[in-house]
Amino acid sequence: MKSTLKRAGYSKVQRQMNDVFIQFTSKVIFLIILLFSVNLFLAGHYTPGGGFVGGLLAASAIILLLMAYDYETVKKMIPVNFHLMISLGLALAIVVPTLLFFFGVPFFTHQHTYVTMPVFGEVALHTAVIFDVGVFLTVAGTSLLIVTLVGGTEK
Amino acid sequence: MTLIHLAIFLPVIAAVAIAIIYRYVKDVHLGWFVLPIPTVIVAYLFSLIPSIANNQVFHHTLNLMPRIGLNFDVYIDGLGLLFAILISGIGALVVLYSISYLSKEEELGNFYVYLLIFMTAMLGVVLSDNILMLYFFWELTSISSFLLIAFWFTKEKSIYGAQKSMLITFFGGFMMLGGFIILYIITDTFSIREIIANVDLIMASPLTPIAVVLVLLGAFTKSAQFPFYIWLPDAMEAPTPVSAYLHSATMVKAGLYLVARFTPVFAFSELWVWLILVVGLVTLLWASFNAVKQDDLKGILAFSTVSQLGMIMSLLGVGALAVATGADEQIFTVAVVAAVFHIINHATFKGALFMVAGILDHETGTRSMRKLGGLMTLMPITFTMTLITALSMAGIPPFNGFLSKELFLEAMFEISNANFSALADWSVLFPILAIAGSIFTFIYSIKLIHGIFFGERTHETPKEPHEAPKLLLASPIILSALVVIFGLFPNILSGTIIDPAAMSILGTETALNTEISHWHGWNNPALWATVAIVVIGTALYIFRNSWMFIYEYHKEQFTLNHLYDQGLIYSQLGSAKAEENVMTGFLRDYMVYIFGFFVIFGIVTTFYTGLPITFGDFADVGIQDMALVLIILVSLAIIMMTRSRMVSIIMLGAIGFSVALFFAFFRAPDLALTQLAIETVTTTLFLVCFYHLPKKSKHEESIKFKFTNFIVSVGVGAIVILFGLAAYSNRLFDSISQYHIDHVYDLAAGGNMVNVILVDFRGYDTLFETLVFGIAGIGIYALMKAKVSRKDDENEEHA
Amino acid sequence: MELVTIILSGILIASATYLILSKSVLRIIIGVSILSHGVHLMILTMGQLKRGNVPVLDDTVSSYSDPLPQALILTAIVISFALTAYSLVLLLRNYKELGTDNTEDMKGVPHDD
């Protein structure tokens, strides 16, 4: 925040303002938001949620960190290459439907089975989840790419 | 695909081979390869003469688009055969001539390809029965003529001439298409045969005068009649073989063909007869008058061509009387015979004269009459040919030109016996115009012979004049021989070619049995007219210096050429100005056009169909909903009025979050979640951009500007509300979402219907949406990293 | 309720049009955002508001609200975000190169001298 204000030309930043509060709380809240986004994503099939919201919330989590720290620090904290994220997400989104060909059904017909696992009981496995992972990654990656790029910090 | 179709398309197909040959074979003149093509075609056509002379006709169809009646119908009767023989025969002679005229340095490949395309197109015009195909080939001749005139495209005069010919003939062709479409509307067919059969429909229709004018516009522009003749003198920039072929023997006769072909259709119309007669005679007189003063050799020949075409045109006008009053009356059929005969004769002597002009240009290096003189002993063969053809043009026995000129004068005198419209009352005028035009024709013909070959040598010619090589002389010698042969033995042609052609024009089956002879008797007014022409013409030529001063009396502003040039300049200026006012370059103006038209169409629709709106089926309104509506309205108002960008952005965020709350109220949790998250990221994005964005978010706008915007916006909003209400009130189908609701568990093993629809049922949409998202990311990356040069911007600053 | 929403959506679209016709590019972008909000509301209204329950499968519920318009709007929201982001960056780059936000100064084409 302080660095943003400095660049905007506010040279005389008030001495009282410091980033301690936001830096500490953001580290905690970031984790909560990230967990919530994953939960939202996984629960998408039976309750409100899904790939888009999950991706956006994940992006918001990292944006919160960006607000508190500057780009270099966040990059050290979370060494994720956004381009890779986007590419991976798009690849998943396309590859999954194509692979479904091998089940002998038309393009993009999802398959699902039920598997019994020791602790969780009966669990449904659905190819739509993998597709949704692709969507999640793409959305998160692009939002982060945009924000960091415009912030002028990504080289 | 019969032999005829093949004959028509042979030149253009061969053109491909010619172009390829030209790439590899450069030492043999390309013309030798081209020569067989028209020769073969003309030989084939000669073989058809006997059957056509026996009153047979050939009619073949090639279906192209039968549903709309566009078929390639070929119809060969006497008229078509005559023209086809002219086209291919003179084509062969011209190709032979061009072999020695054009040196191998020229772009021969281009030249012959254009020539062959022209040949196909012209054959298509005269042999086609379908008027749409006729139009297609007509325009194709205009295009190939344009290409040929601009053959030496580095010269500005060539480009000017080509553009002029293109504009005028395309204009005429387009008008002609309009006339054809009117004919189609009246008779419901595109075939000329059937149109002729439906003449009574055409007679009764009120649209016919328009069709007459339009079709005649096509004919007059192509055949360079007054006032459209101005393109022909400028077309003389083309190489001489082109001038000999297109602009004297074939293309300019296409208009005459059109008039002849449509005579059975329109002959009953007074407008048709008067227009053709008057325009033809005026052209004859005006052009021959102007020909006398020309200095350029080809200029004389160009004006002479215009004048002779006028003569044939007026003959066709008289010939129409034969159709109107019945072909048994021989008095008017003589005009049609004269027209056909003169088409042949003109092709022979004018073609030869143009070739002679080319020879003179080639051998002396100049075309200017002032520099040429006294060449009789140096170029004897050329002199003989010029003598023969020019005398034929002047109408002196025993050449073929004399025969057709006699028939022409006879026809003009016969008009006094016409029982059609008011012709008989004005009939004294026509022979006078005809005789006056013929006098000037005589004068310039004599000028050609005397000015070039008699008198003193001027020694101003760039090259030493000498006789032309034998190959160059071959074609004009053949044509001059034909002039003599047809003059001495005209009846070779009369039974075989002229009669069938005349019969097609008149639309009759009864044989004409014409006999053409030199002597028509002492009390024939035509005879005395010819004598008068020769006497007066000679006198005027001998004393030419005393009256030629009248040529100085023309003001520059009133010439047709000037009119044309000014017209072009002003139309360009006018359209540039109009474009400037409409296409301002300002994006907002274009948006106003778009939205404005949307509003207008909306209003028109509302009035025409009447939107049925029922106010029944609405849900209840709660306090929370109205509160949200209020918040949204207030935020909107603030955004419109504020100058600060920070406030706009925050209010935008407020609207977004209110919409998210709306989604929550309307039982759409997925939407609410997504909207909240998106709004957060968007606001973050706006704020991150804040540093870079400009300080002020609103610029000075005039009252008129704001008012226009206001009107358009209110209109758009109103239309949207109306259409929304109408759409809501009229549910035409049941919603398809029932299927999705029913099968969400058994087919897709899911509970959240919206998500299942997104990911499973309509997964394709999501796939592409993700792709769009990715593309936006890549695009933004590219935008931020792109290096834009600053050079263009500096120019923009100073502009 | 649908009447209110349709009229509200119409007002939103009208203001959006007014903003799109303005001279400043930033206001154009804000106008496009507001346009998309109006359109989303309109699409939702066409699916009849407040009938039935949330479209999540539940045995105790008999009628659900229409899930199809919701799916469409979700896609639309995401895509309009991409569009807004892209146009913002375009504005940014434009401003850096030309130094102006006023479309009146951006008229015409550069001279190809």
Residue the block writes with tokens 């005395």 = B528
Rounded CA-CA distance C86/C80 in Å is: 10
Q: Which residue of B621, B649, B666 to mutate against C (max C Cβ within 10 Å)? A: B666
Give every CB contact of residue B700 below 8 A, 6+ residues apart in sequence. Answer: none
| CB of B108 closer than 8 Å to CB of B116 | no
Q: Is the pLDDT of residue C73 over 60?
A: yes
Give every CB contact of residue C22 below 8 A, 6+ residues apart in sequence. Answer: B588, B698, B699, B701, B709, C28, C31
Q: Which residue of A139, A144, A147 to mutate against B (max B Cβ within 10 Å)? A: A139
Rounded CA-CA distance B777/C83 in Å is: 10
User: What φ, ψ does residue B619 adopt, rounded to 5°?
Assistant: -80, 175
Domain ranges of chain B: 1-201+240-252, 750-799
Rounded CA-CA distance B765/B584 in Å is: 39
| CB of A33 closer than 8 Å to CB of A64 | yes
Q: Which residue of C6, C36, C63, C95 to mutate against B (max B Cβ within 10 Å)? A: C6
CA B418 to chain centre: 37
Which residues of chain A approach chain C closer than 8 Å at the C-beta?
Answer: 46-48, 52, 139, 142, 146, 149-150
Q: Look up the CATH number of the domain holding residue C82.
A: 1.10.287
Instruction: Tell if the CB–CB gap between C101 and B699 is shorter than 8 Å.
Output: yes
Rounded CA-CA distance B639/C20 in Å is: 13
Say yes or no: B739 contacts chain C, CB-CB below 8 A: no
Mapped onto helix, strand or coil, the DSSP state of residue A123 is strand
Query: How far is residue B717 from each of residues B502, B587, B632, B735, C76, measured CA to CA in Å?
Result: 71, 21, 16, 27, 21
Contacts of C88 in chain A (CB under 8 A): 150
| Structure confidence at residue B423 (pLDDT) | 67
| Structure confidence at residue B600 (pLDDT) | 94
Q: What is the pLDDT of residues C9-64, one digit of tens each?
A: 999 999 999 999 988 888 899 999 999 999 999 999 988 888 888 888 877 877 88
Give every CB contact of residue B420 below 8 A, 6+ residues apart in sequence. Answer: B270, B273, B321, B324, B325
Chain A residues 46-65 within an 8 A CB cutoff of chain B: 46-53, 56-57, 59-60, 63
Total Cβ atoms within 10 A of residue B389: 30
Instruction: Say which of A48, A139, A149 has its CB closest to residue C56.
Output: A48
Residue the block writes with tokens 């003109």 = B346
Instruction: Tell if the CB–CB gap between A150 and C82 is shorter than 8 Å.
Output: no
Rounded CA-CA distance B594/C73 in Å is: 25
Contacts of B792 in chain C (CB under 8 A): 110
B352, B357, B363, B367: CA torsion to nearest 10: 180
Q: Of C18, C45, C46, C44, which Cα lies nearest the Cα of C32?
A: C18
Q: What is the mean pLDDT of residues A53-67?
A: 90
- 3-state SS track over B125-182: HHHECEHHHHHHHHHHHHHHHHHHHCCCCCCHHHHHHHHHHHHHHHHHHHHHHHHHHH
Contacts of A149 in chain C (CB under 8 A): 89
Rounded CA-CA distance C41/C46 in Å is: 9
In chain C, the residue whose alpha carbon lies closest to the alpha carbon of A48 is: C56
| CB of C53 closer than 8 Å to CB of C9 | no
Amino acid at B497: I
Rounded CA-CA distance C19/A76 in Å is: 42
Six-digit token pair at B532?
A: 């008068």
Give chain B's residues under pLDDT 70. Answer: 1, 324-331, 418-424, 509-512, 553-558, 694-699, 788-799
Instruction: Tell if the CB–CB gap between C88 and A46 is shorter than 8 Å.
Output: no
Tell the burial category of B27 from Cβ atoms under 10 Å away from its Cβ (0-12, 13-18, 19+).
Answer: exposed
Contacts of A150 in chain C (CB under 8 A): 88-89, 92
Domain with C11 in it: 2-52+65-101
Instruction: Say which of A46, A47, A135 has its CB closest to residue B766.
Output: A135
Rounded CA-CA distance C32/C43 in Å is: 17
Instruction: Say which of B681, B756, B759 has its CB closest to residue A56.
Output: B681
Domain assignment of residue C25, yes or no? yes
Rounded CA-CA distance B762/A150 in Å is: 33
Instruction: Tell if the CB–CB gap between A60 and B680 is shorter than 8 Å.
Output: yes
3-state helix, strand, coil in chain B (%, to 5): 75, 5, 25
Instruction: Say which of C54, C74, C92 has its CB closest to residue A150.
Output: C92
Rounded CA-CA distance A119/A133 in Å is: 24
The sign of the dihedral angle between the CA atoms of C83, C88, C89, C95 is: positive
Please tell me the total count of domains within chain C: 1
| CB of B289 closer than 8 Å to CB of B219 | no
Six-digit token pair at B582?
A: 């409409």
| CB of B440 closer than 8 Å to CB of B292 | yes
- 3-state SS track over B738-759: HHHHHCCCCCCCCCEHHHHHHH
Which residues of chain B approach chain A closer than 8 Å at the C-beta?
Answer: 669-670, 673-674, 677-678, 680-681, 684-685, 688-692, 748-752, 754-756, 758-760, 763-764, 766-767, 770-771, 773-774, 776-778, 780-781, 784
User: What φ, ψ does residue B717 adopt, rounded to 5°?
Assistant: -60, -45
Tell the burial category of B277 from Cβ atoms under 10 Å away from its Cβ (0-12, 13-18, 19+).
Answer: buried
Six-digit token pair at B445?
A: 């013909």
Instruction: Tell if the CB–CB gap between C89 and A146 is shorter than 8 Å.
Output: yes
Six-digit token pair at B709?
A: 């915007």
In chain A, the residue whose alpha carbon lies closest to the alpha carbon of C79 is: A139
Tell the burial category of B453 from Cβ atoms under 10 Å away from its Cβ (0-12, 13-18, 19+).
Answer: buried
Query: How far is residue A100 from each of residues A89, A107, A130, B229, measured CA to CA in Å?
Result: 17, 7, 12, 74
In chain A, the residue whose alpha carbon lies closest to the alpha carbon of C78 is: A52
Rounded CA-CA distance B625/B634 in Å is: 14
Minimal C-alpha gap between B760 and chain A (Å): 7
Contacts of A47 in chain C (CB under 8 A): 56
Tell the burial category of B289 from Cβ atoms under 10 Å away from its Cβ (0-12, 13-18, 19+).
Answer: buried
Six-digit token pair at A78?
A: 């979370």
Rounded CA-CA distance B599/B594 in Å is: 9
| CB of B755 closer than 8 Å to CB of A136 | no
Q: Which residues is B378 bridged to in the sheet?
A: none
Six-digit token pair at B396?
A: 């002196």
Total Cβ atoms within 10 A of residue B90: 23
Rounded CA-CA distance B49/B716 in Å is: 72
Instruction: Tell if the CB–CB gap between A49 and B673 is shorter than 8 Å.
Output: yes
Instruction: Say which of A47, A52, A146 has its CB closest to residue C85.
Output: A146
Instruction: Tell if the CB–CB gap between B781 and A149 is shorter than 8 Å.
Output: yes
| CB of B232 closer than 8 Å to CB of B248 | no
Rounded CA-CA distance B748/A116 in Å is: 19
| Structure confidence at residue B799 (pLDDT) | 43
Rounded CA-CA distance B598/B19 in Å is: 53
| CB of A76 closer than 8 Å to CB of B780 | no
Instruction: Say which of A59, A108, A147 has its CB closest to residue B763.
Output: A108
Q: Which other chains touch chain C, taking contact as 3+ CB pairs less than 8 Å apart? A: A, B
Query: How far is residue A83 from each of residues A143, A147, B768, B774, measured CA to CA in Å?
Result: 11, 13, 18, 10
| Structure confidence at residue A4 (pLDDT) | 60
Mapped onto helix, strand or coil, the DSSP state of residue A113 is strand
DSSP assignment, residue B71? E
Tell the burial category of B668 from Cβ atoms under 10 Å away from its Cβ (0-12, 13-18, 19+).
Answer: buried
B231, B236, B239, B243: CA torsion to nearest 10: 80
DSSP assignment, residue B469? P
Q: Which other chains touch chain B, taking contact as 3+ CB pairs less than 8 Å apart? A: A, C
Q: Which residues is C53 bridged to in the sheet?
A: C64
Minimal C-alpha gap between C33 and chain B (Å): 8
Which helix (H) or strand (E) is B75 found in, with range? strand B70-76
User: What φ, ψ does residue B73 adopt, rounded to 5°?
Assistant: -90, 135
Q: Which residue of A52, A57, A95 to mutate against B (max B Cβ within 10 Å)? A: A52
Contacts of A59 in chain C (CB under 8 A): none
Give every CB contact of residue B513 below 8 A, 6+ residues apart in sequence. Answer: B495, B499
Instruction: Say which of A48, A143, A152 has its CB closest to residue B669.
Output: A48
| CB of B42 closer than 8 Å to CB of B92 | yes
